[in-house]
Amino acid sequence: MEQKSKAADPNNWLKLYGDILYNYAMMRVNDSAIAEDLVQETFLSALKAIDTYKGIATEKNWLFAILKNKIIDFYRKRSAELTKTGVPDLQKVEDDWFNAEGSWNEKAIPNEWAVSENLVERKDIQKIIDWCKNNLKELQQNVFTLKYLEDLNSDEICKVLNISSSNYWTIIHRARLQMRSCVEKHWVNN
């Protein structure tokens, strides 16, 4: 178990925490260069704020909190850029999933999923889920990541991405449908 200390030791940060911070960032941004930049920014911010570190949280948890904020800032900036370049039209109806009454189309009814206890198979499933997430539209991917990986609530996500609540619910709904469809196509139905 990691010892709590009152003084942070930046000389060992890269060795002790570099890989786990990078992996955490990579799972959320899916770009190695961006993940590396976020970890570097985390270390720089921590170094600048080292005098404020009181040792209440472990050094590791303190660095993770800084990184989490860096990731949220990344998505905030990315959302601003998306808004400038034009957000894709998310109001189009996906007739592939629902009929006019709002019920599932016969071909789109969800399948039963059997989750394996086999660790190798679970890793394969995680790769498929990651691949499916990476193939969502950019705004859907941003919302999905902030919701399910960063565990932000809908109000926080709306503030970070500068979107309305109704737009958020439309985006997350469609992201879930596309994730389900993708996972079923590449895992359940194989």
Instruction: Give the domain extent around 178.
Output: 106-188
**Whole-angstrom Cα distance, residue 56 to residue 4?**
8
What's 38's domain CATH number? 1.10.1740.10
Count: domains in the chain: 2
Among 5-19, 66-80, 85-99, 108-122, which stretch is predicted with the lowest mean pLDDT? Answer: 85-99
Inside any domain, residue 101: no
- Better pLDDT: 119 or 137: 137
Number of Cβ within 10 Å of residue 1's Cβ equals 4
Q: Which residues pair with 98 in a beta bridge?
A: 104
Query: Which phi and psi angles does 98 have, rounded to 5°?
Result: -125, 150
110 pLDDT higher than 70: no
Q: pLDDT by residue (tens digit) across 42-75?
A: 999 999 998 888 888 899 999 999 999 999 999 8
Give Cα 9 to chain centroid, integer Å: 29
Q: For residue 176, is it within any domain?
A: yes
Please report whether residue 5 resides in a domain. Answer: no
Of 33, 53, 85, the domain-final residue = 85
Contact assessment for residue 62 and residue 53, using Cβ atoms and an 8 Å cutoff: yes
Domain harbouring 158, CATH code: 1.10.10.10
Put simply, whether the predicted model's pTM sits higher than 0.85 gets the answer no
Average pLDDT over residues 177-185: 83
